[in-house]
Amino acid sequence: MANAMLQQTVGGTLQLLSNSGTHCNVGNRSVRLLPKGFKLEVEFSKRAICSSGKRKFNVIQASTSQTSVVGPLLAPSSSDTLDSHMKSNEVALILIRHGESLWNEKNLFTGCVDVPLTNKGVEEAIEAGHRISNIPVDMIYTSSLIRAQMTAMLAMTQHRRKKVPIILHNEDERARAWSKIYSEDTIEQSIPVITSWKLNERMYGELQGLNKQETADKFGQEKVHEWRRSYDIPPPNGESLEMCAQRAVAYFRDNIEPQLLSGKNILISAHGNSLRSIIMYLDKLTSQEVITLELSTGIPMLYIFKEGKFIRRGSPVAPTEAGVYAYTRHEIYKRALEIEKDQVVDFSVLFEKERR
């Protein structure tokens, strides 16, 4: 990195400090941003150690406030203490949009058509698993579509507890009987996976299988944008986001929220629109705010459920929510002020997102 000094206002100052990396003051918080190629080793303290070869550098953490759920780089030495950093009255809720699917790659409207992940989607799911590998997971909910189920299963292969996710088949008595597990020890080492069509992507009706660009050329960009991004206008014979929200949020309230209240840590692997709907409910967004949300494939979003309230924590071991959503400049800077202790932040990602 060339010897240079740069300052930019981000609700504070951003300084580029020769070869030692970048130092950022955001409000009264301080973060050191590291040059590429440095390995990050984080300990359970208010400071982190970065090393390149035999050289070590201190990383000033973003805040001295407490973080209740730790990410992969903050792993305890023993899986027996995995939950020790969760407060007794808190549970985790993790949301993951499935990795890239074969029809995402082909730029086709997918909706409720059941297509698998691409190789890139598999890699995204595994990376998501790395990010949540130290967050306790007691139950998993997915849609009935294979891309969401693959994402959850692949993510859990990276979990430190090494419990096995097992899909529960409850469609009839025979399905339940044939999939019964007879070992209590095996049950203890398993995580139930519950699937529901109510968590499916919104049904795109007559657009399903069509190329998005060709459809825009045929019907006009404005009409296709209306079908894709309006809240209450459905595509031909399909669902609007409002209709998708009615089923997804009702399912969340009736089935998932009671599990959180009982102390279960939950992972939901689903889709852009069904997760938008749930986030609208969690964050109390308006119909205008929710249509601006963009969820990246394979990036987990963490909430803490505490005393009946959902507290957004961003993406584990990553920048804050700007890594998940497309936000305005004001929102990016605002969320930079919310960085928790034990997160090292790459502000270049925030700025790149804002420029797009």
Q: Which CATH number fits domain 91-340: 3.30.530.20, 3.40.50.1240, 3.40.50.1970, 3.40.50.300?
A: 3.40.50.1240
What does pTM read for this prediction?
0.69
Q: Which residues contact 197 (CB under 8 A, 6 or more apart)?
A: 112, 143, 144
Q: Is residue 201 part of an annotated ligand binding site?
A: yes
Q: Per the annotation, does 335 bind a ligand?
A: no
User: Which are the contacts of 217, defined by CB distance < 8 A and separation ≥ 6?
Assistant: none
The number of residues in the chain equals 356
Ligand-binding site membership of 131 (annotated)? no
Q: Cα separation of 124 and 107, whole Å?
A: 18
Write down the domain spans for the chain: 91-340
Residue 285 is encoded by which pair of tokens? Answer: 């967004």
Q: Are 227 and 207 in contact (CB under 8 A)?
A: yes
pLDDT in tens, the chain (356 residues): 433 333 333 333 333 333 344 444 444 444 444 444 433 333 333 333 333 344 333 332 222 223 333 333 333 333 343 444 456 689 999 999 999 999 999 999 999 999 999 999 999 999 999 999 999 999 999 999 999 999 999 999 999 999 999 999 988 999 999 999 999 999 999 999 999 999 999 999 999 999 999 999 999 999 999 999 999 999 999 999 999 999 999 999 999 999 999 999 999 999 999 999 999 999 999 999 998 888 889 999 999 999 889 999 888 875 544 444 433 334 445 555 554 444 444 434 433 443 34
The two beta strands, 12-17 and 301-306, are unpaired
The answer to whether the annotation marks 205 as part of a ligand binding site is no
Catalytic residues: 98, 201
Separation between Cα atoms, residue 128 and residue 279, nearest integer Å: 18
